[in-house]
Structure 1
Amino acid sequence: MVGYRHDDPITTNQKLVAGIVSGVITRCVTQPMDVIKIRTQLMRRAKKRGALKKISRRIFWEEGVMAFWHGHALGQLHSVISVGSQFFVYEMTTRSVAGLAIDESHKPALNFLCGVMAGCTSTTLAIPIEVIRVRQMLVHDQYRGFFHGAKNVYRSGGFFAFYEGLSASLLQMGPQVGISFTTFRVMQRLILNFLDDPHDKPGQVSTDANRHRPENLMLASTCAGCMAGFVSKTLTYPFDLAKKRMQIGSHTASDKYKVPSQAKKLAQCQRLSDCMYKCYQKEGFKGFFRGWTVTILKAQMTSVVAFTSYEMICYVMRKFYL
């Protein structure tokens, strides 16, 4: 189960390995949707019906099928750092607070704060890579490769260009991860209680960390992950939109590089308040949810793959450990 359990035989370091492997799997599955999501969020024109299909077709015809995996190498590094650190910090913080003498009714709030800390930590560690990756997915030739991309980011705005969008990232990812972990734990427990039959395993002791049947654990994790992705991303989405626009704030197009048509007119901003104001002024309240559909689909897929793969990897580890 996600979070610290006193009866869990695998160590925190082993769970870190599970988080890293989960991050690799998650990025492989979700990368194409991430490319489409970012293109949608950074378009200036108002969203039209069928925009997602139109964007996908244009990427395919102008840049080829491999364009859906632009920034994938950096995405893998970002995912390993982000997903791995989220699970690791959450395990560590929930372990630290497990022995506190507090009322049972306050534990969900405490678990939420542990998730916030995990989200803020992973964001701070991964944002330099995310800035390069976002620009690489927009103008691949200009930011190709890690070192070439880093050099051009530095040229565009100096050292602090690597931390563009940090304020929006912290405001988004802290609560998002907190909501995600809390929602997942609550929903997973409810579903497992519904699915599990106490007569399936007579004599099974309640302290067995693998006491749930693997098929039930997979189904519960999938459903809970889907719900966690939907709720957490929807509640924090405006900050995600602002973050992406701030991360290209210092980007300047160059005639030396081929620039896709969708990357020629971008919504860019330098400050969070300015980003929010311009978004509302030009597009109204709906503008805060530009690209929401593909983002929610991607968030749900990410949560499902990340949580389910993490849980099943931990399950296998316990089997080998025992």
Structure 2
Amino acid sequence: MVSVQGRMCDIPFEEERDPYESLPPSSTSATHALAGAAAGILEHSVMYPVDCVKTRMQSLVPDPKADYRSVYDAFCKIVKYEGLMTTARGINAVVGGAGPAHALYFACYEHIKKTLSKGQTGNHFAHATAGCAATLVHDAFMNPADVIKQRMQMYNSPYKSCYHCAKTVYRSEGYRAFYRSYTTQLTMNIPFQVVHFMTYEWIQDHLNPDRQYSPLSHVISGGVAGSTAAAVTMPLDVCKTLLNTQENCARTHISYIEGMVSACRTIYEFQGAWGFFRGLQARVIFQFPATAISWSVYEFCKFFLTKRQTESKQISSVNTLSVSASAPERAR
């Protein structure tokens, strides 16, 4: 109840209710898209040096100067012999791709999840289906960015800039080079996102069953979900890196490696079964804080934007009631 010029009027919204609790029905796709874009850009920017180390450690036949024993050893050698800025090579491609990719990713996920779950928590089918659909859209935007990024990250990369890399790859290999790993990316990311979203929502069901804005629960849920999914899908990530960089082809001048089967055979030939898990530590170290950052930033932005929308509606409703209440008095 709000007093307007001496009268008590009912406000159509619930003023005392936590705005975050009503996010599913009230927040818009634009809110999810903006929050998702901010989350994606910050996630990839902050953790980019670790991603660079992971790519280097997945190298099939590393140069003696780039044969690393651990994540710490790799980072120290890169900084010592190549400079700190080397760990940021290719970051422009990721930032440019992560914004629109994550905007569509989260908007698609929230829309499908809300449609299928119908407001019920614990609906893992809805979470898994929404995660799969969101991945299809996300990877269509991110795959070319990943190709450029990983080629820039490799040891002794010949490319001067992201633009130079994109232009050279297109001229020498055609547009197919930017999507050579797309099916492998989907093969990896669909199970990754299914495990990721189901784990995140499951932990949220226990830590934050009311789905209120809770930064700590978002950080814990996001970190555990991301690292779990990363460990499960590690072999597929190694195959994706090989298809993106075509490292073996550059060294032996054989025909391009195409598809999952060819990538698996090449990795096993060079490094055996252990080759599918090279860089696992770096990937888990990358994914835990990365997904924690992504979810916490996403939930904060979603909460902030929705709260602003709610406050704007409240002010508009109060002004409308004030005008309506004063109209009869002016008529007298």
CA 252–237 in structure 1, closer or farther in 2 if over 3 Å, else same: closer
Q: Structure 1 stretches of 5 or more lacking a match?
A: 194-205, 254-263
Q: Does 1:78 align with 2:97?
A: yes
Residue 223 (structure 1) aligns with: 220
> Given the superposition, is the C-alpha separation of residues 249 and 127 from structure 1 closer, same or farther in structure 2, using an over 3 Å criterion?
same
Out of 197, 200, 212, the position equivalent to 1:184 is 200
The answer to whether the 8 Å contact 1:111/1:178 transfers is yes
Asked if the contact 1:132–1:150 (Cα under 8 Å) also holds between the matched residues in 2, the reply is: yes
Name the CA shift for 1:242/1:91 in 2 (closer, same or farther; >3 Å): same
**Percent of aligned pairs with the same amino acid:** 21
SS of alignment partner, residue 233 of structure 2:
helix
The equivalences for 1:1-322 within 5 A come to 7-44=24-61, 50-99=69-118, 107-138=123-154, 142-193=158-209, 212=212, 214=213, 217-249=214-246, 269-322=257-310
- Which stretches in structure 2 are left out of the alignment for 5+ residues? 1-20, 311-332
1:64 Cα deviation (Å)?
0.8
| d(CA) in 2 for partners of 1:108, 1:98 | 9
**Residue 7 and residue 63 in structure 1: after superposition, are their counterparts in 2 closer, same or farther (change >3 A)?**
closer
- Code of the residue aligned with 1:180 in structure 2: it is H
What secondary structure is seen at the aligned counterpart in 1 of 2:26? coil
1:250 CA drift (Å): 7.5
- Farther-moved stretch of structure 1 (140-149 vs 305-314): 140-149
Cα distance in structure 1, aligned partners of 2:268 and 2:146: 25
* Deviation sequence 1:91-125 (CA, Å, 0-9, x none): 1222332459xxx7993123202101111221122
Change (3 A) 1:251 1:147: farther
Q: Which structure: greater helix fraction?
A: 2
Query: CA–CA distance in 2 between the matches of 1:221 and 1:233?
Result: 18
Change (3 A) 1:265 1:222: farther
In 2, Cα distance between equivalents of 1:250 and 1:228: 31
Native 8 Å contact 1:41 1:290 kept in 2: yes
CA displacement 1:54-98 (0-9 Å, x = unmatched): 321221122211111111111111221332222111012223324
With normalisation by structure 2, the TM-score equals 0.77
Contact 2:104 2:137 (8 Å CA) reproduced: yes
Q: Distance in 1 between matches of 2:38 and 2:240?
A: 26
Residue 278 of structure 1: CA displacement? 2.7
